[in-house]
Amino acid sequence: MIKFRRHLEALIPGALLALCAAIVFLPVTRLAAEDDSPIDESAPPEVQGQQLAEIIRTQYPIENYQTQGLLSIRSNRGQRQEFKIASLVYASPSQTWTNIFQVADLQGRIKSEYLIIRNPRKPNIYFRTIGQVDTEGQTLIERAKDPYVPIGNSDFMMADMGFDFLFWPNQQVIRQQIRSGRNTYMLESTPAKPEVYGKVLSWIDKKTLGPMRAEAYDLEGRLIKVFTVGGIKEINGEKVVSRFDMENSQTGYFSRIEFNE
């Protein structure tokens, strides 16, 4: 079980791995009482949005953690690919922490690695392997200039797994909504200089503060991708959400990450 520390609060129960960007696990245990709110709901939508984004960003691990599972990709013609995937989290005494994703074939041979250096108050830094080794046989990595790099040819990008949109300057809670029986905040995030995504809409569980769904839109306002979580399992004695789906609305491709260990 990985434990996260919230800004100015005690440990969160349950497992929050890589905040989906790295969220790998979402806790299903209660975080707050029914009438508690993590933000000032009387404030303007922009203030509520900034408060909510900051609270989510400022969760960080205090323990190392590793989990693994399967990455599956289905094309718009029904063709399937499967890979093993592992997520490794390395905590540090500071709030800065590292999340590594390794993608391997079904025989366990690593094909690619993606590294995210995360800080609650600074944008993520991304690295990836470049398919070369040095004279000592060590795999070489380089800093990724573009975070919109797919992980293992899937529709999960490094920027998605790093939840880059939470660092965008424009955040606002546009409404509250019941989704799958849960009370959620609907958060609209827009970047200062749109590049790939023009905006992201996300539904944040009010109790766990875990994103339940996120929709990414292009610069013309057309839906690109839909991210959802699901699949409650008991892993290491904890009930956790361990399945993550990404549906590309423009290409018809579908990607799933399901952790089981």
Running along the chain, 261 residues long, what does each successive block of 10 average in pLDDT? Answer: 33 33 38 67 96 91 88 97 94 88 92 91 88 60 87 94 94 95 95 94 91 95 94 62 92 94 70
| pLDDT for res 73 | 98
| pLDDT for res 190 | 97
CA 80 to chain centre: 23
DSSP strands (E only) in 144-261: 170-179, 182-190, 199-205, 211-217, 223-235, 238-248, 254-259
| pLDDT for res 224 | 97
Q: Which two tokens stand for residue 117?
A: 């250096």
| pLDDT for res 232 | 65
Residue pair 28/240 in contact (Cβ under 8 Å)? The answer is yes
CA distance 85 to 106: 9
CA 13 to chain centre: 18
| pLDDT for res 19 | 43
| pLDDT for res 239 | 58
Regarding the domain with residue range 4-259, which homologous superfamily does it belong to in the CATH classification?
A: Lipoprotein localisation LolA/LolB/LppX (2.50.20.10)
Alpha-carbon distance values, 30 to 19, 27, 53, 63 (Å): 17, 8, 19, 21
CA–CA–CA angle 243, 248, 253 (5° rounding): 85
Alpha-carbon distance values, 24 to 50, 84, 188, 252, 261 (Å): 24, 15, 22, 24, 11
